[in-house]
Chains A and B, each alone.
Chain A
Amino acid sequence: MAGAIGGGRSVSGVYRPVRRWLLLPSWLVIGFFLLAPVGIMLVYSFLTKEFRGGVIWEFSLAAYDQFLFDRGIFGDDPPTMEWTYINIILRSVIQAAIATLVCLIIGFPTAFFIATRPPETRTIWLFLITVPYWVNLLIRTMSMKFLIRDNGPLNEGLMALGLISEPLPLVNTDLAVQLGLFYSYLPFMVLPIYAAVERYNFALSEAAADLYADRWTILRRVVLPAVAPGIAAGCILVFVPSLGAFLAPDLLGGAKNWMIGSLIEDQFKGAAGNWPFGAAASMILLSMVLVALFFYARSQSREQA
C-alpha cells in the first residue's frame, strides 16, 4: 500500500493512518460511555450480591431468578411466578405510553402552532418551551409537588373559588406521576415535531384543498404522513426516558406508585442494596427499549424503500 503511487491515501484525500487517529474521539465516546457501562451492568447482573451494596465475583443467576420467580422466604419452596416486578414493568410501560400519548396530543398542535408563526417570533416560542429545562429536573419535579399538594396553590385556588370543599388528593397518585412525566418530557416531543413541520411544504396542503380535501383529510392523508418521522422521533424521545424515570414516580407517586426506574434506583442507592438485582432489572428494561427501537428502525427503513 505504501509503495504504490498515492498509496495510503483514501478517497477523501486524508492519509489513512491519520484518518484512523481522527476517529479516536468517537471510539472513546462509544467505548467509555456506551459499551463499558452496559458491559459492566451485564456482568454485574450475573454476579452474587454482597449485603449493603457491592458484588462478590461469583457467577449467579440469582438476580434474574429473583426478578421472575418466588421461592418463598427461605428460598427453598418450589418456584412460582413472581408478579411483583413484572407488574412494575407493566405499570412503567403503561405510564410511559400514556405520558407519550399525552405529550403527543399536546405537543403536536404546539409544534404546529410554533412552526406556522412568522420566522422572527418562532424563536421566542421555542425559547419559552425550553426555558424551564434550564432548571434542574429534581427542582422542577419538587415544584410540581408543591403546586399540587393539599395546601398548594392549585388546591387552595380551587377552594378559594369554591369549586371544591376538600383538597383534591393529587400527590402520591398515578395522575401526579403523569403530570410529572408530561412536564419533564414535553419538549422532547415538541422539538422534533417542530423540526418536521418546519420542513413541511405547505403547498401540499394547498394542493390537497384544491383537490377537494377537507381539513381532516388534509391532516390525515397529507400532513401526518409528511411529518411522521418527527412524530416517531418525539415519541421515542418521550417514551424511553419516561419508562426509566424515577424522579417523578418517587417524588410525586410515592411508595405505592413505583416504576421500574425507582426499583433500580433503590437497588443501588436505597435500602435494598442489591446491585446484581438492580443490574438485572436494568438489563431487562434495556432489552425492552432495544426491541421497541428495533421495530421503529425497521418501520423507518421500510418507509424509505
Chain B
Amino acid sequence: MGFDSSDQSMASGTRVTTPAISVRNVIKRYGTVTALKGASLEIHDNEFFTLLGPSGCGKTTLLRLIAGFEDITEGEIHLFGDEIATLPPNQRPVNTVFQQYALFPHMTVAENVAFGLMCLKRSKTETDTRVAAMLDLVKLGDYAARRPSQLSGGQQQRVALARAMAPGPKVLLLDEPLSALDLKLRQAMRVELKQLQQDTGITFVFVTHDQEEALTMSDRIAVMSDGEIQQIGGAHEIYERPVNRFVADFIGETNLLDVTVEAVEDQACQCRLPGGAVMTASTGGKTSVGHQGHVSIRPERIGIGTTGSGRLEGTIEHQIYLGTDTQHIVRLDDGTHLTARTQNADEAQVTPNLGERASLVIDPGAIRLLVD
C-alpha cells in the first residue's frame, strides 16, 4: 500500500502530507453499549489536537483505541499512513500521559523515565543522556533519585510527561492530564504544555472535558458528544460558528432562541422570533423557509441600552455584578429570557437599572442559526 501511494505522489509531483493520525469510521461497542458511533478525523503532524466533551462522550475511549488499550470493534486507525488498529499497545509508536499519571511507585523518577528506553533496549549511555535531558526539559533534574510518592501532584505530572516523551514518540496522547491539579497549577501547566508541544514538534492528542483548557491550548478541537464527533475546528471557529445546539451550549455560555426561518439568502437567513421580531442570522448548513430551529447569541455580543435604541425590548429581571462584567437577565415581551453581558470598562456608561425597560442591541454577525 505504501508503495502505491508513494508512486502516485511522485507521479503527480506534489507531496501530500500524511496525517499523523487518521481515524476512519471507528466504532467501539462494549456489549450492548456503543461508546463510539463511527468517528472519523485526521490529526496533522505537529498539531495540538484536543478531544473535548462531557464525561461519557467517548473521548477517552477514542484515545485508548489509538493507544491500543482497547480493541477496536470496526473501522481503521492509521499512524502516518500505517494501519495500527490491530497492533498491541507495546508495538505502537505512541506514548500516553495517564490521567492519574500511573507512575511506577517502586521506581525512582529516573527509573520511571528510563522505562521505555529500557524496553526498547537502548544503550546505557544513550538512556542516561536521554533521561537527564527529559528531566531537564520538565525542570526536575534535581529529583531523579526520588520516588513518585515523594513528589507533589504537579511534579508527578511532569514525571509522567518526561516518561512518555523519553522514547521520542511522534504522537503523544494525553488523557485529562491536568484534571488532578489545582486551579493555579492547571493554568500554569496549560502554558507549559503548549510551549512544550511547540518546542518539541510532537503531535499532541489531548483529551479534556474542560472547554477553557481546550480553547487556550489547541490548534484544533473535536467536540464530542454521545459517541459522536459534533464539530472539528479551531477555537475561534468552534466558539463563533457552532454547527449545532450541543456545541453552542457546551462551549461557553449562549442564548438559544426558538425561531422560524422566513427567508433564505446566501450564507444567511431571516428568522422570526415567537414575539414577532425578525433578525438576520448567519448559517453554516442548509436550511429552508419554514424550518423551526434555534439561533445562538453569545451574551457578550448583546448590548444593553435605554429604550428605543434596539429592535428587541424587555425588562431587566436580574443584574449580577461579576467584577469585570455585569450580567443582565432580560425578560423579552414575548416571555423568553435572554442573558447579556456588558463590560464594566466605563464608570460613566449608562445602562438601565434592575426592573427598568431596556433595549437590546445585537451585533448582526453574532446571530447564528443552528442546524438542529
Contact = CB atoms under 8 A, between A and B. Distances in A.
A222 interface: yes
B169 to A, nearest CB: 9
Interface in B50-71: 67-69
B104 A207 contact: yes
A208 B91 CA distance: 12
Contact of B163 (A201, A211, A213, A225): A211
How many chain A residues sit at the interface, stated as a range, is 10 to 19
Interface in B168-206: none
Nearest to B160: A207
A210 B88 CA distance: 9
B303 interface: no
B116 A211 contact: yes
A208 B103 CA distance: 9
A212 B102 contact: no
A77 interface: no
Nearest to A201: B102
A208 B105 CA distance: 12
Nearest to B114: A211
A170 B89 CA distance: 48
Interface string B67-106: 1110000000000000000001111001110101011111
Interface in A268-291: none
A45 B102 CA distance: 55
A208 B115 CA distance: 8
A210 B106 contact: no
Interface in A4-34: none
Main secondary structure of the interface of A (DSSP, over half): helix
B98 A213 contact: no
B1 interface: no
Name which of A209, A213, A217 has the most chain B CB atoms within 10 A of its CB.
A209
A31 B104 CA distance: 43
A65 B243 CA distance: 94
Contact of A222 (B89, B98, B104, B120): B104
A88 B88 CA distance: 52
Nearest to A225: B106
Contacts of B164: 210-211
B102 A213 contact: no
A213 B69 contact: no
A50 interface: no
Contact of A203 (B68, B98, B116, B120): B98
A213 B104 contact: no
Contacts of A226: 105-106
Interface string B326-358: 000000000000000000000000000000000
B172 to A, nearest CB: 11
B104 A209 contact: no
Contacts of A221: 104, 115
B119 interface: yes
A222 B112 CA distance: 11
In order of increasing CB-CB distance, the 7 nearest A-B pairs are A211-B116, A203-B102, A212-B119, A207-B102, A209-B89, A225-B106, A213-B119
Interface of B: 67-69, 88-91, 94-96, 98, 100, 102-106, 115-116, 119-120, 163-164, 167
Interface of A: 201, 203-204, 206-214, 217, 221-222, 225-226
